Amino acid sequence: MHVDMDAFFAAFEMRNVPHLQGKPVIVGGDPRFRTVVTTCSYEARKYGVHSGMPVAQAKKLCPHGIYIKGTLKGYVYTATILVSIFEKYSPVVEPFSVDEACLDITGCHRVFGSVENLVNRLKREIKDTLKLTCSVGIAPTKLLAKMASGENKPDGITVMDREDFKRMFYHRPVDSLWGIGEKTKIALNKLGIYTVADLAMKKEKELSGHFGKNGEGLYVLSHGYDANEVHAFDNRPDEKSMSHETTMVRDLTDIDRIYSTILWLSDKVARRLRRGEYVGRTVSVKVRSASFKTITRDNTLAVPTDQCKIIYEAARKIIPREYGLKIPVRLLGVKVSHLTKKQTETQLSLLDNHTLDKLALTSKAIDRIRDRYGDALIKLAGTQL
């Protein structure tokens, strides 16, 4: 069962401020800056506004909309209540984000009499407790359940097996499949693949020939297969990578500002690595120019790390020099991949052991302070964000 809250952030704000009910509410920050729409009410969607759209564009489509920066702490607190509700109906709950989760309900319906009773009781408890609605998809796999939950929004229930999937999706454009974006759609269209049925007719070997490992994923998607199990939070698979990126308020033309932002992002990633007790071997940077051209570069370390200084120095080296000086930069990102669980032995790396020990002790002290008083209390010298 996939549970997806209906326009969660907007619904949260409308619940807390009743006079917003029935109005086009857009959550996503100040339209003067380069923020994107996080979510919006169904009234705003009638004007073509949707999640991921630049707020400035949303403002053009819906100038009379009510634009709200959002209440992150409120969303996170509500999400914890949601998880506690989910756990009453299934022992295996896998949150996908603050507003959606997958529940393995194998056999759980016996406790409630039927699947219908289980779903209706869950939806009613969410509505009574939080005054919010959700849409539910029920299917034999996580993939199909997620796609089913979007079929009858808001406040709907959709049951979908593989035959239902074929009937409902095969005639639709190929990007109606979850996980297929604009670039993949264009590549598939060039091969004469326009609908989900077109994709399903292709052999896995043929798709792999064009898309490599992703070809196997496309084949699986088009047939509604999915061998992935629902993983409880404490039993989830290890992370494969951790990253942070940011879009600039104004294009960067100063290389020092670019390096400053890379340092800030490296600090964010390093903190997440240490929280998860991971170290990573490959450092990547993502740079998007003002003309929306995006490049990525990788730097593989001799020894995995979770230290900001090492991540920053590796990232800084691989940023092409023409960016900032000749090419204005719109977006920057830092990613660390090829993760492994942190070992107890001291890292041997670009720096001597004594320096590494000092770095690790300093990071540990900073983490403790930030955990207690918030990340904003301590900023690294050289960061301007």
Find the CATH number of the domain harbouring 215.
Answer: 1.10.150.20
Helix extents (H) in 69-212: 72-86, 109-112, 115-130, 142-149, 162-169, 182-190, 196-200, 204-211
Q: Is residue 90 part of a domain?
A: no
Tell how many helices (H) and how many strands (E) occur in the chain. Answer: 16, 12
d(CA 78, CA 92) in angstroms, rounded, equals 19
- What is the dihedral sign for C-alpha 314, 315, 321, 324? negative
Asked whether the predicted pLDDT for residue 268 surpasses 60, the reply is yes
Clarify whether residues 9 and 48 are in a common domain: yes
d(CA 8, CA 127) in angstroms, rounded, equals 13
Find the CATH number of the domain harbouring 368.
Answer: 3.30.1490.100
d(CA 62, CA 55) in angstroms, rounded, equals 10
Find the CATH number of the domain harbouring 14.
Answer: 3.40.1170.60
d(CA 32, CA 59) in angstroms, rounded, equals 10
**pLDDT per residue over 50-105, tens digit each?**
988 888 899 999 999 999 988 888 998 999 999 999 999 999 999 888 899 999 99
- Beta strands across the sheet bearing 66-68: 39-40, 25-27, 66-68
Partners of 243 in beta bridges:
335
Of 145, 69, 36, 55, which is closest to residue 100 (Cα–Cα)?
145
Q: Is residue 384 part of a domain?
A: no
Residue 226 pLDDT grade (very low, low, confident, very high; cuts 50, 70, 90):
confident
Question: Contact at 8 Å (CB) between 167 and 191?
Answer: no
Clarify whether residues 283 and 178 are in a common domain: no
**pLDDT per residue over 315-346, tens digit each?**
999 998 888 888 999 999 999 999 888 764 44
DSSP symbol at 346: P
Q: Is residue 270 part of a domain?
A: yes
Structural domains in the chain (count): 3
pLDDT of residue 290: 87
- Whether 100 is catalytic is yes
Clarify whether residues 371 and 294 are in a common domain: yes
Percent of the chain with pLDDT over 70: 92
Clarify whether residues 357 and 308 are in a common domain: yes
Clarify whether residues 331 and 213 are in a common domain: no
Asked whether the predicted pLDDT for residue 145 surpasses 90, the reply is yes
Catalytic residue among 43, 100, 116, 125: 100
Between 125 and 51, the higher pLDDT residue: 125
d(CA 162, CA 224) in angstroms, rounded, equals 6
Clarify whether residues 259 and 334 are in a common domain: yes
Expressed as residue numbers, the domain containing 49 is 2-72
Clarify whether residues 373 and 276 are in a common domain: yes
Q: Is residue 77 part of a domain?
A: no
Question: Contact at 8 Å (CB) between 301 and 283?
Answer: yes
Q: Is residue 284 part of a domain?
A: yes
Clarify whether residues 213 and 272 are in a common domain: no
Between 246 and 249, the higher pLDDT residue: 246
SS3 (DSSP) at 42: helix
Q: Within 10 A of 280 (CB to CB), how many other CB atoms are there?
A: 24
Of 281, 283, 263, 275, which is closest to residue 380 (Cα–Cα)?
263
* Share in percent of the chain as helix, strand, coil (round to 5): 45, 20, 35
Q: Is residue 296 part of a domain?
A: yes
Clarify whether residues 360 and 256 are in a common domain: yes
Side-chain half-sphere exposure of 374, counting CA atoms within 13 A: 3
Clarify whether residues 245 and 195 are in a common domain: no
Between 126 and 29, the higher pLDDT residue: 126
Which among 191, 220, 249 is the end of a domain?
220
Q: Is residue 38 part of a domain?
A: yes
Confidence (pTM): 0.70
Asked whether the predicted pLDDT for residue 259 surpasses 60, the reply is yes
Asked whether the predicted pLDDT for residue 152 surpasses 50, the reply is yes
Clarify whether residues 182 and 271 are in a common domain: no
d(CA 285, CA 323) in angstroms, rounded, equals 12
